[in-house]
């Protein structure tokens, strides 16, 4: 993530992306199967990242870990830091999206003078 994004996104967004990728990759290593693939797409509004392994079972429920629990926080971080996240059917494919700061398309039109 760092070598691909360093000069292209804000530092705090990159920090969040690295944390979320590391959590999803760790989940794929511990719970997944086969090869692990990272896919990412960046545009003006968002960073979209997917971590895919060759497994087929994914526990969709977030488990809220107790304060003293060391493991089990990964999806809680994904839930709390990402704009959106989800799971694709088929091979285990967990994705997250981080919105970039700045005006959105709708914001640009809101500031145009009325005719």
**Residue among 26, 7, 27, 5 at smallest CA distance from 16:** 5
Question: Strand, coil or helix: what is 6?
Answer: coil
Please report the domains of the chain, with CATH numbers, ordered by start residue. Answer: 2-110 (3.30.565.10)
Return the half-sphere exposure (C-beta side, CA atoms, 13 A cut-off) of residue 4: 10
pTM, whole model, 2 decimals? Answer: 0.74
Q: Residue 42's pLDDT band (boundaries 50, 70, 90)? A: very high
Pairwise pLDDT comparison (71 vs 83), residue with the higher score: 83
Question: Strand, coil or helix: what is 22?
Answer: helix
Q: Residue 60's pLDDT band (boundaries 50, 70, 90)? A: low
**Residue among 20, 36, 15 at smallest CA distance from 74:** 20
- Average pLDDT score over residue span 58-62: 54
pLDDT over 70 percentage in the chain: 73
**Average predicted confidence (pLDDT) for the chain:** 79
């Amino acid at each position: 993530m760092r070598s691909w994004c360093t000069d292209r996104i804000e530092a705090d967004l990159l920090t969040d992306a690295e944390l979320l990728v590391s959590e999803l990759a760790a989940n794929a290593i511990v719970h997944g199967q086969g090869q692990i693939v990272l896919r990412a797409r960046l545009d003006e509004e968002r960073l979209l990242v997917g971590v895919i392994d060759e497994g087929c079972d994914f526990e969709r429920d977030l488990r809220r870990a107790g304060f003293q629990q060391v493991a089990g926080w990964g999806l809680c971080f994904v839930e709390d830091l990402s704009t959106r996240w989800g799971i694709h059917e088929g091979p285990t494919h967990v994705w997250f999206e981080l919105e970039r700061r700045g005006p959105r398309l709708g914001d640009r039109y809101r500031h145009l003078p009325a005719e």
